[in-house]
Structure 1
């Protein structure tokens, strides 16, 4: 796989991190004032076996910033144990950039300065204003279901309103996904409470043909409270077929539990995943709508993540 060689860099980076020590990392001093708070904790102090170094990036001729050390939480370790194709903790919105902790080097950047909040376990997450803020990673094969025919998208989401001010179409927001006109791939969607389809706060996920139109997808529709965290997992599998799901299927999980599974077709139209060139975004997909709320711990996998591992991820956040 494309990502396998790149991921070996995690082990090498960890060894370098351990060997260099605090001074070699040019990290913040371990004697930093407690007033700096938990946000600085992932960039200071001695590196450990769970240290991911983010190398400096700068324009030619400019003084590069120091190396940064993200120390994995117990939740991060649980995710990384399942070898994601890409993994963003979504904890660095204050810096404007977010490292890919998987080793695939798919680092992303934030636009318009999203804020920071905390997940149920105390880890940091990005919070979006629902107007113009988003996170973006450039197109890569690791981000496309077409690469292997199997794909899992995972995140923690927290809607901070039940009626989104910048929704689209019948009254929904695309809060995460990959797709632009002519290059549609997949999307995570949440409906406003009031919408023209009678789907109050439905949360769903869809796979599309590149030319768009109707997508095949799965959903759950439960009572939702603003400010509550939801563990969201979408599966797209075009490889495993059966009499019940002759074209493959989509699945959706809420809080570690499978809620829906559907054939990879819609009204007789079969969905065949193909790779487009659109970037992957969080907070919006293609600027048609913007999510007001928080998102953390975004991971993608080039396999269908087993149900027991999805449940384990949920339990790792909420023991």
Structure 2
């Protein structure tokens, strides 16, 4: 019996996303430059994320926050560190989550009590994992749309599934994914392009609670490789999302 998910979202009408660039070795596009890694990290940090986990660890269980906020997390379950990442450059590894026990947890922190939010990360799915979670906190979640290959973004509690992407994510392919929520509208970007947007129908309360990557507090594990996860206390503009994508792919 499939578990019900007691959270709902902001619904959005979505438009088709452009084609995904041909993947280069370890990266999202053949044009990726050798210095994409350090340039990309600097670009993310310039936009003041509340937490930024590059996930380039090759040993241990600590997931290091690259910001000055000190929001380090902890890996648990069957994770595999040191996997080939999406970016070339100084940090070229990512973390694989097994879809059964693996996850990372960041304890509750003042910087993560957001009412406006941007979720930014790189995703490579290994298999379809139902409602597998990529990023989850009390009142916002980015997850799979139940074996359809699409993504959902959930905000606040209601009984219906909502924000669903038009883009179907292929397996074993890197995608740059950004979701923004400014209290008036939700927007989803895939590979730097707007996939869809919709007026907001709910708010995000500034609550305590841990942040989870690769799972939710009660399960819903995802089978995927993740890296470069950032949470911002603001909604990044379309121009900033596009700028991050250009830097990542070496096309500034």
TM-score interval (norm. to shorter)? 0.7 to 0.9
* Aligned match of 2:141: 187
Give the superposed CA RMSD.
1.9
* Aligned match of 1:158: 124
Alignment coverage as a number of residue pairs: 210
Instruction: State TM-score, norm by structure 2.
Output: 0.77
- What SS does structure 2 have at the residue aligned with 1:295? strand
Where do 5+ consecutive residues of structure 1 fail to align?
A: 1-71, 180-184, 194-199, 239-247, 266-270
Where do 5+ consecutive residues of structure 2 fail to align?
A: 1-36
C-alpha deviation, 1:257, in angstroms: 0.9
Counterpart of 2:61 (choices 88, 96, 104) is 96
* Aligned match of 2:111: 142
Cα deviation, 1:104-138, whole Å, max 9, x if unaligned, reads 11111101241131223232111100010101101
**8 Å CA contact 1:80, 1:102 repeated in 2:** yes
**8 Å CA contact 1:159, 1:293 repeated in 2:** yes
Tell me, in whole angstroms, the C-alpha distance in 2 between the residues paired with 1:87 and 1:261: 24
**Mapping of residues 112-261 of structure 1, within 5 Å:** 112-116=77-81, 117-122=83-88, 123-146=92-115, 150-161=116-127, 163-164=128-129, 167=130, 172-179=131-138, 185-193=139-147, 200-208=148-156, 212-214=157-159, 218-238=163-183, 248-261=184-197
Tell me, in whole angstroms, the C-alpha distance in 1 between the residues paired with 2:164 and 2:189: 9
**8 Å CA contact 2:118, 2:233 repeated in 1:** yes
Which of these two proteins has the greater Rg computed from alpha carbons?
A: 1
* Aligned match of 1:52: none
Instruction: Report the structure, 1 or 2, having the larger helix content.
Output: 1
Cα gap change, 1:79 to 1:215, in 2 (>3 Å): farther
Cα deviation, 1:178-207, whole Å, max 9, x if unaligned, reads 02xxxxx100011243xxxxxx21212121
Cα gap change, 1:87 to 1:106, in 2 (>3 Å): same
Instruction: State TM-score, norm by structure 1.
Output: 0.62
C-alpha deviation, 1:145, in angstroms: 2.8
**8 Å CA contact 1:144, 1:151 repeated in 2:** no
C-alpha deviation, 1:213, in angstroms: 2.1
Tell me, in whole angstroms, the C-alpha distance in 2 between the residues paired with 1:76 and 1:188: 22
